Structure formats: structure tokens, C-alpha cells
């Protein structure tokens, strides 16, 4: 997995977890993605270093910075719009979801806006 794709997967996962529960910790990411604790720990520390999230070293709680939340929301929007577009052209729900998850990381901003307009029609 490319660095950007991996980073975006973590941000989207944290975003979705935060929609379900107030306090998200690394163990929640481990359970959701089924990744090794060491991989999640490394990724979380990288996201902290990049300024996307904060990590409370006492409680382990993860929170978004303003920039991180904005980025996560955009990633999630891409996922939702692409899923709807794929369903609109005939993909079943599971197929659309799986492929949107891959496409969201590589589609250009320009093409995404075209797809977004298509879905609104």
C-alpha cells in the first residue's frame, strides 16, 4: 500500500470510529483494520507528526486536529460519492463499496468533481 493510501485509510478509519464512539484509541484501529499493533502505533505516531491527529499519552485517546478532521471528511466524502456513482452505473452495493475504497485514493480532484456532479443528477 502506498504511503498516501495508507495514511488516508487510517484517517478515514479514525473518522468512522469517531462517528460511533467519543473516545478512539489505537486498539480500536487495530480491531477495525485487523492490523498489527506495531503497524498501527507507527502510523498513529506518523499522523501525530504530520499534524493530523493528537494522541493523549495518558489515556491513549486520539483526536483530530482541524486539518486532520478536514482531510478525513474529504476522504470519507470521496468514498461515499464514489460508492454512489458505482451503484448508479450498476454495481451492487458490496462491489461498489470495495472498489470505491480503492479508487478514492487515486482519483484526481478534477475527475472527482465530475463524478460528484454525475451523482447529483
Given 39, 65, 91, which residue is the final one in a domain? 65
What is the C-alpha radius of gyration for the chain, rounded to an integer number of angstroms? 15
Give the pLDDT score at 2. Answer: 59
| Same-domain pairing of 50 and 77 | no
Distances (CA, A) of 72 to 2, 78, 94, 103, 121: 17, 10, 22, 16, 25
pLDDT tens figures, 5-51: 899 999 999 999 999 999 999 999 999 999 999 999 999 999 999 99
- pTM, 2 dp: 0.89
One domain for residues 43 and 76: no
Domain range holding 21?
3-65
Answer yes or no: do 86 and 106 share one domain. Answer: yes
61 and 74 inside one domain: no
Amino acid at each position: 500500500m502506498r504511503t498516501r493510501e495508507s495514511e488516508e485509510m487510517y484517517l478515514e478509519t479514525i473518522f468512522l470510529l469517531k462517528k460511533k464512539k467519543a473516545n478512539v484509541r489505537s486498539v480500536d484501529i487495530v480491531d477495525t483494520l485487523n492490523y498489527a499493533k506495531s503497524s498501527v502505533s507507527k502510523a498513529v505516531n506518523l499522523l501525530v507528526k504530520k499534524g493530523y491527529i493528537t494522541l493523549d499519552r495518558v489515556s491513549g485517546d486520539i483526536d483530530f486536529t482541524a486539518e486532520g478532521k478536514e482531510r478525513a471528511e474529504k476522504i470519507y466524502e470521496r468514498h461515499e460519492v464514489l460508492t454512489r456513482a458505482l451503484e448508479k452505473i450498476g454495481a451492487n452495493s458490496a462491489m461498489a463499496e470495495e472498489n470505491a475504497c480503492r479508487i478514492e485514493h487515486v482519483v484526481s480532484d478534477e475527475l472527482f468533481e465530475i463524478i460528484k456532479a454525475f451523482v447529483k443528477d
